[in-house]
Amino acid sequence: MLLISLNVCCFSYSGAFAQFQYISPVPNSLYHNPETNIILKTGSEMQQKSLLPELVEISGSKSGLHTFRIVLSADSRTILFYPNEKFMFGETVSVTIKDGFRKKSGEIIQGTVFNFTILPERTPEQLAAMERAAQNIRKEAFGEETAVKDDDGNTGGLLPECTFPEAEIMSTGDEYVASVFGRNQRLSDNLCFSRHIMSNDGDSIYAFFDEFAGIDFKINLNGYLTFWDKSDSTFVMADSNFNLVKKYQMGNGYRTDEHEFLVYPDGTALLMAYDAQLLDMSVIVTGGNTEAIVTGLVIQELDIDDNVVFEWRSWDHIEITEAVQQVCLTCVEVDYIHGNSIDIDFDNNLLVSTRHLSSILKIDRSTGEVIWRMGGEKNDFDFVNETGLNHFYYQHHFRLLPDGTYSLFNNANFQIPQASGAKIYELDQTAMTATLKWEYVHPTIDGFYLYGRAMGSVQLLPNGNFLIGWGLLSNTNLAPFPNASEVDTAGNVVWEMRYVDSTLVSYRTFKFDFIRCGVIPDSSLQTIFTDADSAKLSWGATNNASSYLFQYKLATAPNWITIELDSNSIELNGLIPQSVYEWRVKSICIAFDDSTDFSEINTFNTIGVSSEGNMLQGISFGLYPNPATQLVFVNTHLKKSMELTLAISNTLGENVFEQHWEATVGSNKFPVSINQLPKGIYTVQVSGSDYLGRQQLVIQ
């Protein structure tokens, strides 16, 4: 049995690899999966054409030289290498980068050499033991048994008598009235688990019974419904008709964990995985098990194309001995960190809640380094307005709030009393103080505190109240505890929900304005192509839309031309060449006798005509989104391959940006990072061997 017996945490590479701000895998690091990719960041935008394969060598000590493909991320700041074949178990991989990569400024990047090691191959017995450890972690975290599908793919929990989970509601009339999202699961068995939406009064809006799919059911940051699917370890994104839009999963061979998933309007996503390794813990702690299964944490950022553009692993930054004293480091199974939430701080760095460190980690999103720890054995903060050593313990759901403060759910495991609740902190990240600004602990019920030993959430609502999901409640057989409470800032309970079946709990509980007639996201408006007298436009299909009301006009015209459509795209003909047009669209939902507001006004430009009066042949192009903020896509449609040059000029006619591409016949999509350009109106020119076209771009 091959075990790793070294404590190799916390590598540093700032000196030897100075021109690279971020390298993944971390140089000299261990335990990587054979499927891993390689990520480099310099902190600057890179020239695509300088990223030549002959400047890179990737070699495994067993597998030899690897061929690979190079991908430059959509923001042009991250270089990705994807080996065409997996690495071999137990080998050391060496990566050589020669001088020659160039920043967009023209600066040449000095090369470097680094290596990392692939984890050893596991025996079937070891893999089975690691799977049991993962199930034990899940049972501790979520309090549920593991359902098993039979040979027909059916599950024991999908019973015809399953009904919408009945709930008792207490309301004062001062609550935020919205739809309540949850995923109920049962402590005693795996029957009738459901992800569900109920009205503010507890009436049924939606329920789907499936013990495999539903944890962390919510409206995500991009406006879509998301939840975890245990059957394939993915996060499902669905529209408000509950139709599948996309599935997200970890890259580099990791299995996606259910604790957290955030997807942003620009398509980027944050996920986590639990990563079990076989270690000899006797060299780390006295009495440690020589064949321990130790579980670490992996966090990934995926870009819009599902590339892993950032990866952080606890093995590289957090000592196993940093776990709080209640974590058994001499046991066979050691869950030493147990991440359960991710958020992005005001400065674009990551905030990660780690339950078994009883700490919040702030992680530099550019370098992967830990900036600070709030709470736990290596706490960096002085706490104000609190007494005692354990300011929070085994916490969940750490979030940055709009006013710059931070919320968390304090599970309060091992605290006296064991009284779970919500806390709001103000952090001074210069003076390193954490000031408790607000705290809520529910009054006792029949002499018992509300104690959620696992799970839990705190959500700031639009009216300023806080919705607290109490998670995995203890003593539910002794008192009628609520599963969720809405509390105002004075500490008054204004709304509560309790499942009538006291064995039901929910990982998190949220309130959202669930609009069945889906609003068309402004970011989904696209100009597919334009010619001299035609244009094709599209937008995101929305929930329950029976049709769409489309309007367009010349930018100088006073009145809109209105067209009702059944599809989410349109091709316009008979347009005026070399003109600016405006357009907008809204959803109509006959089933609800409702419609949405119009989207923001978008624009497109028709191209010019030649001096002979014929339309220029060979290319058309469009920009989306427009207006744009950080990234704009250039869509081209070509009748022959050619080199294209994109130039962006300001209102003074000064060329402020230029980029070159090799474009092929047919449709092409090119990302252009514009975050370095000030807000304003620009002219985008695309030129080829026999073409010149211009469109207006608004940067907001």
268: phi > 0 → left, psi -120 to 50 → alpha, else beta; which? beta
Report pLDDT for 226.
Answer: 96
Report pLDDT for 404.
Answer: 97
Residue 571 token pair:
């091709």
pLDDT per position as a tens digit, 633-673: 887 777 778 888 889 988 777 889 998 888 887 777 888 88
Residue 400 token pair:
């940055």
Residue 118 and residue 34 in contact, taking contact as beta carbons nearer than 8 Å: yes
**Rounded-to-10 torsion of CA 85, 89, 90, 96:** 10
Report pLDDT for 155.
Answer: 41
pLDDT tier, 524 (very low <50, low <70, confident <90, very high otherwise): confident
pLDDT per position as a tens digit, 571-611: 998 888 888 999 999 999 887 677 888 999 999 988 765 43
How far apart, in whole angstroms, are the C-alpha atoms of residue 278 and residue 261?
Answer: 27
Closest CA to 230 of 149, 126, 143, 335: 149
Domains of the chain: 22-117 (2.60.40.1220), 123-152+212-336 (no CATH), 155-204+381-514 (no CATH), 518-614 (2.60.40.10), 617-700 (2.60.40.1930)
Q: What percent of the chain has pLDDT over 90?
A: 63
Report pLDDT for 159.
Answer: 45
How far apart, in whole angstroms, are the C-alpha atoms of residue 552 and residue 574?
Answer: 13
Closest CA to 471 of 495, 491, 446, 442: 442
Point out the least confidently predicted range of 341-350, 390-399, 477-486, 638-647: 638-647
**Rounded-to-10 torsion of CA 420, 422, 424, 427:** 40
**Most confident residue range from 361-375, 560-574, 618-632:** 361-375
The bridge status of strand 680-688 relative to strand 642-649 is: antiparallel
pLDDT per position as a tens digit, 348-359: 999 999 999 999
The bridge status of strand 396-400 relative to strand 406-410 is: antiparallel
pLDDT per position as a tens digit, 60-111: 999 999 999 999 998 899 999 999 999 999 999 999 999 999 999 999 999 9
Report pLDDT for 144.
Answer: 56
Amino acid code (one letter) for 233: S
Encode 121-159 in three state secondary structure: CCCHHHHHHHHHHHHHHHHHHHCCCCCCCCCCCCCCCCC
Average pLDDT score, the chain: 88
Model pTM score: 0.76
Q: Is 675 helix (H, G, I), strand (E, B) or coil?
A: coil
Tell whether the model's pLDDT for residue 59 goes beyond 80.
Answer: yes
Question: What phi and psi, each to the nearest 5 degrees, are found at residue 235?
Answer: -100, 130
How far is CA 544 from each of CA 379, 551, 593, rounded to the nearest angstrom?
49, 20, 11
Angle ∠(456,460,464) on CA atoms, nearest 5: 140
How far apart, in whole angstroms, are the C-alpha atoms of residue 140 and residue 120?
Answer: 28
Angle ∠(495,497,500) on CA atoms, nearest 5: 150
Q: What is the DSSP string of 530-584?
A: E-SSEEEEE----TT-SEEEEEEEETT-SS-EEEEESSSEEEEESPPSS-EEEEE
Segment 302-318 shows an average pLDDT of 96
